[in-house]
Amino acid sequence: MNDTMSRYRTMIGHRLFWPAAVLFVMLAANTIYRPGFLSIELKDGHLYGTPIDILRLSAPLILVALGMTLVISTGGIDLSVGSLCAISGAIACMYISKQPDQNSLGVVVTALAMALGVSLVLGAWNGVLVAVIGIQPIIATLILMVAGRGLAQLITEGQIITINSEPYRAIGLGHALTLPLAIFIALAAALLVAAFTRRTALGMIIESVGGNAMASRLAGIRSGRVIFLVYVISAACAAVAGFMMTANVSSADGNAAGLWVELDAILAVVIGGTSLAGGRFFLSGTIIGALIIQTLTTTVYAMDISPQTSLLFKAVVVIAVCLIQAPAFRARFSRRRRNAPPPATIVDKPKEQVPA
């Protein structure tokens, strides 16, 4: 009895419990509303169904949010990721559209390399502004957020560039092992970032810099380099996300590609339990956060909520998610019920607060 109680408490105290519970409730609500929601079928060797769609559509957001997690962990923020998506997509599509053979694999690889290279340079620009010059991250990346849209427009010459390249299209819509390729790309990116931060000491050093910059400096950490690096990583993630977004529609629109994705990414990071104040970061939490956001978007469509109210609906759900996660709110809530037979107290650990 006592044992199950403590196990229950450990589970509830786990940092992934609340995000996972929210995701579960959302899926359950959808299934009740539309019993076929979770069904998956195999057609032409490919799996189809709403859950697969959610995974595929959340891939770009997962990518952007992974980079954002590291940036936020250092106590910074990267507002330029949406523009970077647009720029990388624009460069890749522009290059491919100018080639005689758009279906050549070599052309696509060259295009990706070029776009990725430019994105890394732009990420380095962010990094220099924040780490070397010392501009506040929100302002430093705001520069590229605004100017980047213009840059993307310049690259596409104000047009929507449409391409007809099968290999490029595959990034967004291709399949491998019955599943959409995008899922694998996001998964690979997640594993790569996880290995890069947790197999090396980078993760701990990022958390240390974000947790207490002054103490980290006095411990001998050259925090400038670390901060520079996370903005470059964030740009690289955004670039790949940009490929997916443009590949989905086989066209690059400098205005629309990746619009507002930075806000969704920040939200995903926060839902995942990483504090906006910096410090500890949770990649798995971020992924769940991104899935929650995509599930929410899909739900809005599936439930036929009118477009006029869909944003409001999203906002209400997001507020609820953030409140459920906030230890202070949960504490108040559980205190109010304290007179009733004690439900295993949730306020076990006043852990990462979730500033929303």
Give the interface with another protein as residue ranges (CB under 8 A).
Answer: 199-202, 204-205, 207-208, 211-212, 214-222, 226, 279-280
Residue 82 or 203 with smaller CB distance to another protein: 203
Q: Number of helices (H) and strands (E) in the chain: give both, helices first.
A: 15, 6
Q: Smallest distance from the beta carbon of 210 to another protein, in angstroms?
A: 8
Q: Smallest distance from the beta carbon of 308 to another protein, in angstroms?
A: 42
Written as one string, the DSSP assignment of 41-99 is EEETTEEESHHHHHHHHHHHHHHHHHHHHHHHHTT---TTHHHHHHHHHHHHHHHHHHS
Q: Smallest distance from the beta carbon of 23 to another protein, in angstroms?
A: 25
Residue 83 or 216 with smaller CB distance to another protein: 216
How far apart are alpha carbons 285 and 204 in whole angstroms? 17
Enumerate the β-bridge partners of residue 160. Answer: 253
Residue 34 or 280 with smaller CB distance to another protein: 280
Residue 94 or 209 with smaller CB distance to another protein: 209
Q: Smallest distance from the beta carbon of 148 to another protein, in angstroms?
A: 29
291 within 8 A of 271, measured Cβ to Cβ: no
Output the six-digit token pair for 149. 């849209």
Residue 16 or 114 with smaller CB distance to another protein: 16
Main-chain dihedrals φ then ψ at residue 252, nearest 5 degrees: -115, 125
- Supply angle C-alpha 320, 323, 325, rounded to 5: 110
Our CA dihedral for 89, 93, 96, 98, rounded to 10 degrees, sits at -140
73 three-state secondary structure: helix
Residue 139 or 219 with smaller CB distance to another protein: 219
Output the six-digit token pair for 208. 């240390």
How far apart are alpha carbons 63 and 82 in whole angstroms? 12
Q: Smallest distance from the beta carbon of 208 to another protein, in angstroms?
A: 5
Q: Smallest distance from the beta carbon of 345 to another protein, in angstroms?
A: 18
